Amino acid sequence: MSPSTSTPLRIGTRSSPLALAQAEMTKAALLAAHGWDDVAVFLVPMLSSGDKVQDRPLAEIGGKALWTKELERALLTREIDIAVHSMKDVETLRADAFRIAAMLPRADVRDRLIGADSIAALPHGARVGTSSPRRAAQLKALRPDLVTASIRGNVATRLSKLEHGEFDATLLAAAGLDRLGQGHIGTAIAASEMLPAAAQGAIGIDCLSERHELAALLDPVNHQPTFDCVMAERAFLEALGGTCHSPIAAQASIDKGRITLKAEILSEDGSEKRQGQTTFAPADLAAAARLARQLLDAASPDLRALFGQ
């Protein structure tokens, strides 16, 4: 397959500003890798169910699938050729019909705190807007006095809610702010203080498993270290069996051909945290599963129950 003016490559994307920015990054990477003209690739924006419903936490209305199901349907009906996702939003268990064929180089994995210079500097009893069970649990583990409340919407909406006093602070992914040209906003929180979500900062390119010609086109833009690290993090998630309600953090890094995976699971109120790390070869994803088992074995019955154990 070689895209042209008459048969361009169609990239499916959510229509939010951040999703469009990530799709444009994917388009630029493909044009550069193959030397194509701009008209050889175009974006097909779509409104996801997650974008439509903004008044309830994601976990209450269907979980991560709400970000991806419209794009997956469009892949199946051949309305689009590939889809671009924030890997953090991609379900861990997926139908065999789909394949994450490539990932762009990973961006900053950290969270950014908006509204204070540090978590320690937040006023006593501060109200922090977050719909992430991970962020809420980690905040409460550090500062049990903090009050967390659900906040939904795109970056601009969340910042507006903060500006209008609905919250004292919020946390956003540094990668998303950077991609929107807002990397100057807030304070980056070190991963040693708040371990990021699995796959945070990574952009994945999805296609139908049967479309081998597309996988071949995507291979030149795949950043293998990012791919290997994110797949290790996803293997950890799969082994845990968690849901959108389960506070989980995981970060993999690669050095000299070896992956080091750091991970933690927490109770919803942050009162219990089990953490650990392991080092293994990229092909040995079973090592990530073993780490998940170790953390669950060390957890209390209440914490294990969050993972269906």
pLDDT per residue of the chain (309 residues) written in tens, 0 to 9? 667 656 899 999 999 999 999 999 999 999 999 999 999 999 999 986 555 555 555 555 445 567 789 999 999 999 999 999 999 999 999 999 999 999 999 999 999 999 999 999 999 999 999 999 999 999 999 999 999 999 988 888 999 999 999 999 999 999 999 999 999 999 999 999 999 999 999 999 999 999 999 999 999 999 999 999 999 999 999 999 876 678 999 999 999 999 999 999 999 999 999 999 999 999 999 999 999 999 999 999 999 999 887
Among the listed residues 33, 32, 44, the one whose alpha carbon sits nearest the alpha carbon of residue 8: 44
State the pLDDT at residue 67.
Answer: 72
Rounded Cα distance, 201 and 217, in Å:
23
| CATH 3.40.718.10 applies to domain 234-298 | no
| Options 89, 111, 168, 206, the catalytic residue | 89
State the pLDDT at residue 309.
Answer: 72
Query: Domain segments of the chain: what residues?
Result: 9-104+202-222, 111-189, 234-298
State the pLDDT at residue 61.
Answer: 47
Specify the CATH superfamily of domain 111-189: Periplasmic binding protein-like II (3.40.190.10)
Taken as a whole, the chain contains a residue count of: 309
Q: Does 111-189 match 9-104+202-222 at the fold level?
A: yes
Active site residue 89: yes
Q: Which CATH architecture has domain 9-104+202-222?
A: 3-Layer(aba) Sandwich (3.40)
State the pLDDT at residue 47.
Answer: 81
- Burial 111-148, CB ≥16 within 10 A → b, else e: bbbbbbeebeebeeebbbbbbbbbbbbbbbbebeebeb
Among the listed residues 262, 279, 275, 278, the one whose alpha carbon sits nearest the alpha carbon of residue 303: 275
Rounded Cα distance, 275 and 273, in Å:
6
Residue labelled with tokens 């929107």: 180
DSSP 279: E
